[in-house]
Structure 1
């Protein structure tokens, strides 16, 4: 077997572990998941799992990062291709709305559980870097809007913060069924009003 083939098989197996693990964390939360749960879900040996991930915490962090990258990969790609700002922003908000409407399909509760129970400096650094990653996505979209002269050169750093604060706040309310589809639409429309259009 060639090194290239071996590497591809390894990457496919890693993807499978992340996908199966995401479902386990989504069903059981964070604290209730053991390596045995992951082994059973993936139908691999414990030793085979440890070849990829050394702990539940490492695996969970990778699941969180992987899910976000998959979700917003298209946005990052469109920004790189310098596609029209309005088109990218509309898709970004549509993806956020779909995420909020299908909140049961994500591992949000497990993520909040992890954040609350893991407070070492290294763990807090992971949490900050993850939020920074989410902010970077919308910041890059807004920066492109300024570059294309679709929006004025406002303080897009603060506006990106507002996007993330509002979206994460809505995630909490939606998790506990305290936010309707109409309210989600209203709040997303409100975010758009923060952007001053160029004439």
Structure 2
């Protein structure tokens, strides 16, 4: 009985997080209220407060949940030792698509993450942000390590290249958020970077 209750609770929590993620992606962080989440989840106020007590708490859990699964597909692909150039081109194509959606004002948790970052400065908040950066860095590093293992990249350059790619993507995120990003800029930045990995 206890195990069934635990599974039911976990399933309900996952539904709330999925709906909340959609709301944050659509509206950012600053505009979201608990009432907005209640409406999206079609749950009572008391029902939501059984799981989460504030927008902040809910957002942090959405981000934690996202970071656990965000790069699962890339990591899964890397286990089978695929062709580096193919996987790397796919990775950049996915980023390009995400950036274009963000630039067009489409749904993205990036906007919400920036809003949260600028308004929350506690030690715990900084730790959350650092975990996000580390998760991204780890995935980029793993991808470039594949290139080094296949003899495409010199091992000693992987760390520097990973840092450079992260900075490129972060810069493109900012341009997309300000509405200044165009597709040709993404193509130019990624093409310039790809010259270093061929």
The CA distance in 2 between the partners of 1:133 and 1:68, in whole Å, is: 7
Q: Distance between the aligned counterparts of 1:55 and 1:39, measured in 2?
A: 12
Match of 1:18 in 2: 17
Aligned partner of residue 150 in structure 1, secondary structure: coil
Q: Which residue in the other structure is 1:136 paired with?
A: 138
- Alignment partners' CA distance in 2, 1:47 and 1:147: 53
Match of 1:19, SS state, is helix
The correspondence of residues 1-199 of structure 1 with structure 2, limited to 5 A, is: 3=3, 8-103=7-102, 104-195=106-197, 197=198
Shift of the alpha carbon at 1:150? Answer: 2.5
CA distance in 1, matches of 2:162, 2:147: 13
| Cα displacement (A) at 1:2 | 8.4
RMSD, aligned α-carbons: 2.1
* Cα distance in 2 between the residues matched to 1:60 and 1:109: 12
2:156 aligned counterpart, secondary structure? coil
- Equivalences, count: 195
Give the TM-score, by structure 2 length. Answer: 0.87
Residue 121 of structure 2: SS of its match in structure 1? coil
SS of 1:155 mapped into structure 2: helix
SS at match of 2:189: helix
TM-score, reference length from structure 1: 0.86
Q: Deviations over 1:114-151 (max 9, x none)?
A: 10111111111111111111111110111121112222
Displacement of 1:7 after TM fit? 5.0
> Secondary structure of 1:96's match?
helix
